[in-house]
Each structure stands twice: as structure tokens, then as C-alpha cells.
Amino acid sequence: MWKRNSPKTWYRLDLSAIVYPTLQRRDFSSVYRLSVLLKEEVRPALLQQAVDLSLNRFPTYKVAMRRGLFWRYLEPNDRPGPCVRPDIRNFCMPMPFKSNQRYLIRFYYYGRRISLEAHHSLGDGTGGMYLLQTVTAVYLRLLGHSIPNGGYVMDITKQPDPEELEDAYMRFANAGVRPPRPSGKTYRIRGTREPFYTFNVITGVLSASALHAAAGKYNATITEYLNAVLLYALLQKQQEEPHLHPLPVRIAMPVNLRRFFPSKTLRNFITMVYPSIDPRLGDYDFAEIVAHVRNYMRYYINEKFLRGDITTNAAIKRNPFIRVVPLFIKDFFVRLFYTRVQDKNSSAGLTNMGAVQVLPEMKPFLERFDIYMGIPYSERTNCAIISFEDTLTVNFGSCIAQTDVERRFFCQLVEDGVPVTIETNRNME
């Protein structure tokens, strides 16, 4: 079994990660969840063994958050844990840095489900998927099944590739121009905020092939189509509310930069794009929204625009003056910018991990995957999508009581001929 060579190894937070600890508060934490549903009941003792065996292979996940004078950083965490726990109803809860033996990951089980929760300062969903699938593969081996390495399953006996640990943003942030970030006030959902530690989840389970056929009617990909459906639902919601002047509706959507830049990093390597509709220009029907989103995506999501975007973001970290500003001052201005500008820059979030690739030897033991974005920073809803084989799940998470946007979203899918099965952790009495 490979062991970390130097206990003194530490890691700077990557370009995306530096903002997440700053925004930490009692009722918000940048935690996401990945889940896999097996075909047999989970055996907790074996799952704990699989976690213990696998985690050393992921040194940037076996860490604790530390605070320096100028920056936060991650240092190796050799405390016992993380301990596998029975699942909870309101998951993706805040993750205080000094709790859970200082680990920034959690593992849960419930029935046939294994879930990983990770703080976004460690990495994005791609890195989390490598960890979840590796733990699942080791668990299946402990049950006696022959599961090879490959794909998202890492060889836990080998050292990590140095490229897995890098801040890939800084390697590719080399465009000759720094495009401005999108700005401007957008429509925000008005809703009743739920009590503290409440996370409302509504899941739609549907056929990926049926959804692909529905998107094909509009000459769109699944991602383009679902962005359009969410924009349409938000526009309908705004139209029913009393507004002196309508506002643009904008979605914050992460793009996996590994699709465009050659990197093996297991840390954060995403950037945001913002498909939007401005109702001040006139009324849009659904087909027009799909066409608008399709054109936006195909124009902006390419290597050159994305390189310019990450170059803009990297300029702050490279600024020699900012580097020597004390951390408490950085925190103050980051929080101020996020609450006054960045958080108001979108009406909702949508992430699509796409079709999960799984080794053929693992497929017979798996039923489906799920992904959940954590508790939103403000009153809004976030949407996360993932598919495995022909099962696609759309998971909405919010901290407000109203479900108008989710209802309109799924009604549009049904109108386009896509049957949807709804699951929820809400009390429907």
C-alpha cells in the first residue's frame, strides 16, 4: 500500500478554492454530494474499510484546512477517519473546518446507497467522482468481486501523478486578453426561507434516451435543452410576480475545463458560463429560448473563450499587491464582492456532469448515480444533473419552501413527451 512520503507536504488552495472558505457561515457551506445506488444493501463495516484503504491515494482529499497570515492552505490530515455514517434527511450541511476530525469529506450509507460529500475547496465533481468510484470499486473487491483499475477507478497501490495535484488554472491562464465578467442585476426568486439546517430536495428520474429525443426536436443537446427549460420556468415565475420592470434571467453553469485543456487534476478545474434571457427585449416562447441558449453555448464554450475567462480570474491571484494583503482583509473584500455582486449575477445554478463512465466489470452492481449542489448562498434553487446508462436524474436543492420553479421545470419536460418520476425529502403532508 502506498503511503505519503512526506508528512510535511501542504497544498495551496487552487484558484476556485480560495473563495469557498471565505464564504463559510453557519447556514452555508460549499458542499456538494455524489451518490451511487448499488443493487445490494451496503455493508457499513466493509464500506469503512474501503474508505480507509482508498483515501491515501487521494492526498488532496486527506487534508485539513489551515489558516495562514496571507492565504489558507491544506495540510495532510492523519487523524482517524473520516467515519462512515448512516445517512441523514437534510444532507449537504455546513462543514465546519474543526469538526469531523478536520476532514472536509463525509461518507454516508442508506440501504443500497453510498454517498460522498466534499467541500468545494478540495475539488470539483470530477475529482469527487474519482474518489467515489475508487471507494466503490474497493468495496466491491472486499465483497469478492473482480474489479480492475482504470477509468475513474484509481490504483490505490501507486503514487498519484503530480498532475493530479496541480492548480491547473495557473498553467492555462495565459491568454493575451482578459475579458470582463458578466455583470448586472438579475431576477431573484422570492420565497420563504426554511428553518436553519433544512435542505429541500426534489429529484426527477427520467429516461436519458427520451430526453435526448425531446432535445433533438429543437436541434439541441441535453445540456442546452435543460438550461432552456430552467430559464423558461424562471421567466414564468417572474411574470407572475409584481414587478415594475422585469429583470434578465440568468443561469450560472460550470464548465468542466478538462474537456478543453489537457489536465489530470483532481482539484477544481471549472469555470462559469451564464446563459440568459432578457425579457425587456420582448416575449420569448420556449422554442426561441432553446435557440438562444444553443447559440450562446456554441459561441462561448470553446477553448479560446474559456482560456480568456480563466486568465481574467487568475489575474487577482497573480497580483503582487494582493498576495501580501493580510488574509482578514482579503476575506472582507471577497465577501463584500460576492454578496453585493457575484451572488446577484444569476437567478439559479445548473450543473450537468453528463453520462458517467463506469468500468464494464462494475456495471452489473450499479443502478444509478446522483449529484447534488449544496445549500444555496441565498434564496434560490440549484439544479444538478447526471446520467448512468439510460437513467438520468435531475436534482433540485433549495432552502425555500416554494416549489414553483421545479414544478414548471418538470411540467415542461412532460409536455415535451418525457415521463418523470418525482422523489423528494420534503414533508408532503
pLDDT, tens only, 166-179: 999 999 988 888 88
Average pLDDT, the chain: 91
Gyration radius of the chain over CA positions = 21
Pick the CATH number of 11-163 from 1.20.120.1200, 3.30.559.10, 1.10.10.10, 3.30.565.10: 3.30.559.10
Q: Where are the alpha helices (DSSP H) in 10-167?
A: 44-55, 125-142
Distance CA(29)–CA(32), nearest Å, equals: 9
Is there a common fold for 11-163 and 200-358+371-424?
A: yes
**For residue 9, is pLDDT > 70?**
yes
State the pTM of this model.
0.93
Q: Which residues are registered as beta bridge partners of 108?
A: 85, 115
Distance CA(217)–CA(415), nearest Å, equals: 13
Distance CA(246)–CA(185), nearest Å, equals: 11
Q: Give residue 370's pLDDT band: very low, low, confident or very high (50, 70, 90).
A: very high
**pLDDT above 70 coverage of the chain, percent:** 98
Q: Which of 292, 287, 283 is nearest to 214 (CA)?
A: 287
Q: Which of 181, 173, 171, 129 is nearest to 152 (CA)?
A: 129
Distance CA(374)–CA(199), nearest Å, equals: 8
Q: What's the mean pLDDT in 334-355?
A: 85
Q: What's the mean pLDDT in 319-327?
A: 83
For residue 12, report the phi and psi dihedrals to the nearest 5 degrees.
-70, 145
Residue pair 353/370 in contact (Cβ under 8 Å)? The answer is no
pLDDT for the residue 337:
80
Angle at 198 between CA 271 and CA 425, to 5 degrees: 90
Dmax of the chain from CA atoms?
65
pLDDT in tens, 212-263: 999 999 999 999 999 999 999 999 999 988 777 899 999 999 999 999 999 9
Helix (DSSP H) and strand (DSSP E) numbers for the chain: 10, 16
Q: Cβ contacts of residue 427 below 8 Å, gap of 6+?
A: none
Residue pair 72/19 in contact (Cβ under 8 Å)? The answer is no
Indicate the domain borders of the chain. Answer: 11-163, 200-358+371-424
Peptide bond into 82 cis (omega under 30): yes
**pLDDT above 90 coverage of the chain, percent:** 70
Instruction: Provide CATH code, domain 200-358+371-424.
Output: 3.30.559.30
Q: Which residues are registered as beta bridge partners of 117?
A: 33, 106
Question: DSSP string spanning 293-344?
Answer: HHHHHHHHSSHHHHHHHHHHHHHHHH-HHHHTS-HHHHHHHHHHHHHHTGGG
Q: Cβ contacts of residue 250 below 8 Å, gap of 6+?
A: 182, 186, 187, 274, 275, 276, 345, 346, 347
3 state SS for 181-250 = CCCCCCCCCCCCECCCCCCEEEEEEEEHHHHHHHHHCCCCCHHHHHHHHHHHHHHHHHHCCCCCCCCCEE
* 167 SS3 class: coil
pLDDT in tens, 166-224: 999 999 988 888 888 777 789 988 888 888 788 899 999 999 999 999 999 999 999 99
Amino acid at 247: L
End-to-end CA distance of the chain: 51
Q: What's the mean pLDDT in 152-168?
A: 95
Which single residue is written with the C-alpha cell 444555496?
Answer: 376
Q: Which of 183, 253, 256 is nearest to 225 (CA)?
A: 253
